[in-house]
Amino acid sequence: MFNSDRVNSWVAILANVGILAGLVLVAVELNQNTRQLSLELMWQVNERMIENNRTLLGDNPTPTYVKSIMNPEELTFEEFQVASAFFFNFLGVWEDRHFLYQAGLLSDEEWKRFIDDDISYTMGNRFAQEFWRTTKHLFEPELVQYVDEKLPDVDTGASYQWWLDTREGLSANPQE
């Protein structure tokens, strides 16, 4: 009888430990599901905003995009809306990369490298930098902080210079 009481006591303890471990696993699973759902909802909201911006862009936003780089002070209100939609889409892609980082799907270095590789082209003009200044409050604070750290090193003529450098490289290496 003494041995069966000890065995029953140990079985009860092990059962309670098993139940506790099961509850911990359920809590971890709920947390992961909540994070996944949160990421999916943020992604859907961003995709909806980007789709609305695509509608604003119309069939050929290129002349307006170029004007926003070359002569932003001459933009009409309609052109301003198109240029804003264009840049907002770029920034939305950056934010999506940051969301992936927050969800643990990209490393800290990966989402930052994406911005590092793109910032001179995207933000290398007066319109984009002013647009960022006036809209950055809409974005994740960590993303804003990182872009703000990088932006002082971005020349406002970099978007145009990128084109000049590419064009020069193309003329120096014509296809045969």
pLDDT tens for each residue of 7-64 = 778 888 888 888 888 888 888 888 777 777 776 776 676 677 667 666 666 678 888 8
Q: Is 78 helix (H, G, I), strand (E, B) or coil?
A: helix
CA dist 76 and 105 (Å) reads: 41
Q: What is the pLDDT of residue 22?
A: 84
In this prediction, residue 53 carries a pLDDT of 65
Closest CA to 69 of 137, 115, 121, 114: 121
Q: Of 84, 148, 85, which Cα lies nearest the Cα of 119?
A: 148
Q: How long, in residues, is the chain?
A: 176
Q: pLDDT tens-digit profile of 121-165?
A: 889 999 999 999 999 999 999 999 999 999 999 988 888 887 888
Amino acid 56: pLDDT: 65
Q: Which two tokens stand for residue 52?
A: 């609305």
- Closest by Cα among 151, 148, 42 to 98: 42
pLDDT value of position 3 = 78
Q: How far apart are CA 147 and CA 139, in angstroms?
A: 11
Question: pLDDT tens-digit profile of 67-101?
Answer: 998 899 999 999 998 899 888 888 988 988 898 89
Number of structural domains found in the chain: 1
How far is 92 from 99, CA to CA, in rounded Å? 10
Is residue 150 within 8 Å of 122, Cβ to Cβ?
no
Query: What is the chain's alpha carbon radius of gyration, rounded to the nearest angstrom?
Result: 26
- pTM, two decimals, is 0.68
pLDDT at 167: 77
- In terms of residue numbers, what domain contains 60? 2-172
What per-residue confidence (pLDDT) applies to 46?
Answer: 67
